[in-house]
Structure 1
Amino acid sequence: MRVIVSGGGTGGHIYPALSLIKEIKKQHKDAEVLYIGTDNGLESELVPRENIPFKTITITGFRRKLSLENVKTVLRFINGTKKVKKIIKEFKPDVVVGTGGYVCGPVVYAAAKLRVPTLIHEQNSVPGLTNKFLSRYVDKIAISFEQSKAFFPEKKVVYTGNPRASEVIDTNGEQGRASVGLQDGKRTVLIVGGSRGARPINDAFLEVLKEAKTRDYQFLYVTGQVHYDKVMEEVKKQGNPSNVIIRPFIHNMPEVLAGVDLIVARAGATTLAEITALGLPSILIPSPYVTNNHQEKNARALSSRGAALVRLENEMSGKQLLTDIDEIFTENRLNNMKEASKELGMPNAATDVYHTLQTIAKKR
C-alpha cells in the first residue's frame, strides 16, 4: 500500500496524521508513506523525527479581508498543485489523505484532479476553510464530532472519531504518575493549557495556590515552557505546596493522562479525543482566540453529554476553579462524568479511518 498524507500548521492536524500512519504500518508492514507539509510548519519538526519520508511545498492561508496577500496565496496554491501533481505521478499513491491545515489544499486537490482516491479528516466540530473547500472533491470525509456532519455532503461522511484517541488506550498510567513524581492512591488533577501553556489558566491557579495546599488531592500543574519562569517567580513568593507538582512541559502526555482523575484544559480536538478515549472527566476552558470559536463548540459537545464542565475565560477565577474541582470530586459526580466521557470516546478511531481509506483505495 502506498499512501500520501498531508496535514500541517498545528499539532491538532499533525498528531492525528501520525497516529493514522502508525495504524497503516501496523496493518501493512510493507506500506510506503510519504508526508507532504511545509518547511516552516510544526510538521517539519515532528514528521522527520518519526523517520517518515517528508517533502514540502510553499502555501499560505487566505486572509479574511481582500488583500494583495490573497493574490499571492492563489499563485502559491497553483504552483503547489503543480508540484504535488509531479510528486503524485512519481510516487504513485493508492490513496491520498489530508488531516487539515492550508497545506492539504493543493495536496488533496491535486490528487482528486488526477483521480487518485482521496480522504480528508476533520478533527473539530466546526470545519476549517480548507476542508470545506476540499469536501467538494474528495471521496470520503472522516469526522470526529457528529455536529460537523451538517457542513459536508452527507453521502461522503463517515463518523470515525480522531485517530489520536488510539494512542492513549494502551498507555501505562502508573508509569505516567511515577514519571512526574505523583503519589499513588491520591486523586489527581492535571492542569494544563496546551503545549505553550495558557496565561488565564496559569493566573487562575496561582490565585489559589496557597488554598490548594488544604486539599486532600494532588495537582500536576503544567505551565507551558513560555510561562514557566514567570510562574516560578510567583511560586517562590507564595511557596510551593507539597501536593502541587509544577512542570513546564510533559513529553509523555498520553501516559500521564492515563494516570490522572480529572483534567483542566483547553478544548482542542486532540485533547478531547484523548480524554474521551480514557473516560476522563474534564473542566474545559476554551480558547477564545481560534477560528469560528471552534474550541467552545468542541467543549459544548462534551458538556451537553455530561462529560465535561465548561468555563469561559471571563467566568474563570481561582476560587471558581477550586470550587468546580471540589464539586466534581464528590463520588457520584466524578463517576457519572467518567461514564459520560467514556461513552463519547472512540478508541478504535485510527482503525476506522484506516478501513475507510482502504475501502476507497480498492476502488481505484
Structure 2
Amino acid sequence: MYKYKIIMTGGGTAGHVTPNLALVPSLKEKGFEIKYIGSKDGIEKEIIKKSDISYFEISSGKLRRYFDVKNFSDPFKVLKGIIDAKRILNKEKPDVIFSKGGFVAVPVVIAAYLKNIPVVAHESDITPGLANKLSAPFCTKLCVTFRESLKFVKEDKGVLTGSPIRKEILNGDKNKGKEFCNFTDEKEILLIMGGSLGSKVINREIRKNLELLLKEFNIIHICGKDNLDINLLNKKGYKQFEYVTEELPHLMKASDYIISRAGANSIFEFLELKKPTLLIPLSKKASRGDQILNANSFKNEGYSLVLEEEELQKDALYKKIIELKSKKSELIKAMDRGDGKNSIDCIINVILESIKK
C-alpha cells in the first residue's frame, strides 16, 4: 500500500529525465507510487518506458527565445497540454508533482497549480532555463544545483539541494568497462561524451588528433546518433558508440579522464566519481550560455579544466588533454575537498515538506 502518489515530468533531452530516475529508488523506499507525464515523441518516452513507470502523453509546444513561425502555433499546443494534464491529474489525484523542466513540464506545472497540487521543480544549471522561468510562479519550491542559482529564484522558493546522482552510475566495474571495449593493455583511458545528442565539433577534433592521442590513451568515444566513423570501427585502442545506457557506469568507472560538454547532470556525476575532466561547453551561438557558467563554476572550484568551443583550433585540444593528464592529482584533490551533500535525500525532504504543507 502506497503512502503517497507523485507524478514526475520533464523532457526534451536526457538531462531532463535522468535526474528524475535518480530519485525513483529512494522515492519507492519512502512509499511513493510513481507515474510520469511526458510528450508524445520526446526522448523521455523511450527512457521512462524502459523503467517500468506508467507514462501519460500530453500535447507540448516547444518554447523558444528566438523567432520561429511555430511560435504562433505552439502556444495553442501548450494550452492543449494544460487541458491534457488537467484531465490526467483529475483521474490520478497525485499528492505532489516533481518537474525537471523542459518544454513538456510547463503545461503540467500550470495544471497542477490550477488543481492546488504542490509542485517541486529542479533546475540543474546556474541560471534557470526558459521552462523553469515560466513554471516558477506556479511552483511551491524550486530546488537548485549551484549556490549561485539562489539569487535567480524569487519569493524564498529556492532550496539548494545539488544534483541527484543515479546510484547505478556509482556502481560501475572497471574490468567490465575494459572488456566491453576490448582494451587489454594498461594505457590510461580517455572517455569522450558530447551530450545525449552528440557533438559534431568535438567528434571532429578528437578524430583529427586521434593518432597523437592513441599514443597516450585508449579512447572511448560516445559520439551520438549517426555520428560513427565507419572507417575507424576497427581502429585499435579506439572504441566508438552512438549512445550507451546499461554499460555507461562501467565505461565511466574504467575511464581515467573525461572530455565532455558541461551539462550540470553529467558534470556532477563526474564530480561524484572523482574523474578529472576537460569541459567544452556549448557556445552562446548554440545555447543560452548556461553550460559556460556551469563549466566556469567547476573551473573556479578546481574540479575541471575548460576549453571554449571557439578555441578548438589546430592542436589546442591535444595540448589541453595533455595538461589534463599533468594535473590529474591536483584535480582529484580538489574534488575530494568538495561538498558531500546527499542531493537525493535533500530533494525528497523538500517533496515531503511540500505535501505536508
Whether these two folds match at TM > 0.5 is: yes
For residues 165-216 of structure 1, what are the alpha-carbon distances to aligned partners after superposition, in whole Å with 9 as ceiling and x for unaligned? Answer: 544223333332332223474422112223332222122122222223432x
Offset, 1:319: 2.3
Instruction: Specify every segment of 5 or more residues in structure 1 that has no aligned partner in the other structure, as ranges.
Output: none
Residue in structure 1 matched with residue 21 of structure 2 by the alignment: 18
TM-score (norm 2): 0.90
Task: Supply the AA of the counterpart residue of 2:330.
Answer: N
RMSD: 2.3
1:221 maps to: 221
Deviation digits for residues 121-147 of structure 1, max 9, x if unmatched? 111122111111221221111111222
Match of 2:319 among 320, 323, 327: 323
Q: 2:141–2:157: 8 Å Cα contact kept in structure 1?
A: yes
Q: Structure with the greater relative contact order (CA < 8 A, sep ≥ 6): 1 or 2? A: 1
Q: Give 1:145-156 correspondences, 5 Å limit.
A: 145-153=146-154, 155-156=156-157
Note the C-alpha offset of 1:360: 1.1
Counterpart of 1:207 in structure 2 is 208
Residues 344 and 272 (structure 1), Cα distance of their counterparts in 2 relative to 1, 3 Å cut: farther
Which residue does 2:290 correspond to in 1? 294
Shift of 1:250: 2.8
Question: How big is the shift at 1:268?
Answer: 1.6
The answer for the alignment partner of 1:6 in structure 2 is: 9
Pair 1:264-2:270 in alignment = no
Q: Secondary structure at the match of 2:53?
A: coil
Equivalent residue number for residue 358 of structure 1: 352
Q: Which amino acid aligns with 1:232?
A: I
2:161 is the counterpart of 1:160? yes
Look up the match of 2:172: 171
Cα offset for 1:327? 2.4
Contact 2:278–2:324 (CA under 8 A) maintained in structure 1: no
Q: In the TM superposition, what are the counterparts of 1:56-95 in structure 2 within 5 Å?
A: 56-64=57-65, 69-95=70-96
State the shift of 1:312 in Å. 1.3
Mean Cα displacement is larger for which, 41-50 or 339-348?
A: 339-348
How far off its partner does 1:74 sit? 2.8
Answer yes or no: is the 8 Å Cα contact 2:21–2:166 preserved in 1.
no
Indicate how the Cα distance of structure 1 residues 326 and 153 shifts in structure 2: closer, same or farther if over 3 A, else same. Answer: same
- Give, in whole Å, the separation in 2 of the partners of 1:194 and 1:297: 17
Partner-residue secondary structure (3-state), 1:54: strand
- Share of identical aligned residues, percent? 28
For residue 291 of structure 2, what is the amino acid of its counterpart? Q
- 1:189–1:219 contact (8 Å) kept in structure 2: yes
Letter in 2 for 1:112: Y
Q: Distance in 1 between matches of 2:209 and 2:69?
A: 49
* Residue of structure 1 equivalent to 2:331: 337
How far apart are the structure 2 equivalents of 1:294 and 1:184?
39
Is the 2:18–2:166 Cα contact (8 Å) retained in structure 1? no
Alignment of 1:122-137 (within 5 A): 122-137=123-138
Distance 1:196 1:137, change over 3 A: closer
Is the partner of 2:243 in helix, strand or coil?
A: coil
Number of aligned residues: 352
8 Å CA contact 2:172, 2:250 repeated in 1: yes
Partners of 2:222 and 2:22 in 1: CA distance: 24
TM-score under structure 1 normalisation? 0.88
